[in-house]
Amino acid sequence: MKSSLLFSLRLSLCCILSLLTAELPHAEETLSVDNEAVTEQLQQEFHGSYPETASPSNKVHSQELIAAEAEWGILPPYQTTVWAYNGKIAPVIRINLGETLKLTLHNKLPQATSIHWHGIRLPNAMDGVPGVTQPAIEPGASFTYEFTPKDAGTFWFHPHANSPEQIERGLQGLLIVENPDEPKYSQDLAWILDDWLLEKGAKIHDRFVTGHDLMHDGRWGNVVTINGHYRPSIPVKPGERIRIRMVNSANGRVFAPTVEGIETQIIAVDGLPAQSPITLQNFYLAPGNRIDLDLTIPKNAAGKTFAVLDSFGNKANNLAILQVEDTAAVTTPTFKPIQAKHFPDWRSAIDAPVTHEFMLNAMRGGEHGITWTIDGHSGHDTIAQELQTQRFYRLRFTNRSYRLHPMHLHGQFFQVIAVDDRPVREGFWRDTVLIGPKQSVDIGLVPIDKGLWALHCHILEHAEAGMMTTIRIQ
């Protein structure tokens, strides 16, 4: 496990967000700043960044999911007992923008569960957080989720009840909301990146939320998979232009994906299109993060292979192989990649006051022996902030610990605007941001979607041990 104190410190010095983040000079000090004028300007710049309401097409996509025990070949020739949706690891649900998803979950597990639709802006009651937006779905019971997504993009779903065990055992899936107006790729691949802590015979190690995991960066596995398969070989053709939608569903592992020998562009982060394409280089895909990639298989690559690697840490891991068929090249689709229709400048965000500073830390004691806290509190019974819709806010996360914390805010998108009080511009929206050891990160957001929304660390063991709170949007 690469989660020692020394490693985390080195990671922080290497820029915990990503080398994509362009550092800007300090704003010049002024004797006074008209905070109201700055906030008003930032709100005006934000207007039109993404839809405020859904646009239903009156078409309903109905789906049934059964959460139950299943057998899955993570590491052939062994079969591993997992928990899965409809017997499959990483099932993909695809709907068109404007369609309403009506999904009924039947719980055949030995414990209560739920589904959280990570990154989807939806009615608060459909967010799937027991104790905040709905009661837990008990064994033998069912619950129907119904909503019309506001945004096209790559999203995922997973339990928000006993998440460290239920996600680790395999409960995870992809929700792709497609925009029919977007250009068509030769292949559109949807990948969940995960790691599994397996014992002899490919049995899942069944001790969860341990003291070791809590003192470090969560549970890191020893087998890394894509859609539940170890080092899969993906067939492609010379000349194909491919979109790869990557989701990190791991309990704690951070990935830094690369495609060996092929120029690859990031076209979307956490579901929304970037301001413009960004070269894939040293992007830290933290638990909960997603990126959409755009790449073209060279026309002269018949019979060749290209490795998809994880370069996070001291040694690269082989995630998958793109196996090019030994055939003639196909016609490469030519089009401009998607990009944000409107992206606010927000250079003056560094002049806005900090509305609230969330203190991330740990203390001894509690159910698990270690309690992770936000502002000295643990659990989602606390409302950390009450914010108004259509107002700009600058929120700060200050990490007082030596561990990593990917902080995920439900129901909203935000931009990173400063790291350690120095302004930065990333050129994309997020719903999850990785906070390094002893680091502070400022985000800017204009809330649109009302409700009581969870805010938590997406290292699942940290969240289970208390690093969770709520924000009310009025």
pLDDT of residue 315: 78
For residues 193-218, b (16+ Cβ closer than 10 Å) or e, as one string? bbbbbbeeebebeeebbeeebbebbb
Average pLDDT score, the chain: 93
Confirm if 285 and 193 have CB atoms less than 8 A apart: yes
Q: How far apart are CA 82 and CA 92, in angstroms?
A: 18
DSSP symbols for 63-126: EEEEEEEEEE-SSTT--EEEEEETTBSS-EEEEETTPEEEEEEEE-SSS-B--EEET----GGG
Among the ranges given (24-28, 262-266, 298-302, 419-423), the one the predictor scored with the smallest mean pLDDT:
24-28
pLDDT at 458 over 60: yes
Convert the pLDDT of each residue in 283-336 to its tens digit. Answer: 999 999 999 999 999 999 999 999 999 999 877 889 999 999 999 999 999 999
Convert the pLDDT of each residue in 432-450 to its tens digit. Answer: 999 999 999 999 999 999 9
- Binning pLDDT at 50, 70 and 90, where does residue 32 land? low
- Binning pLDDT at 50, 70 and 90, where does residue 399 land? very high
Q: Which two tokens stand for residue 54?
A: 């859904």
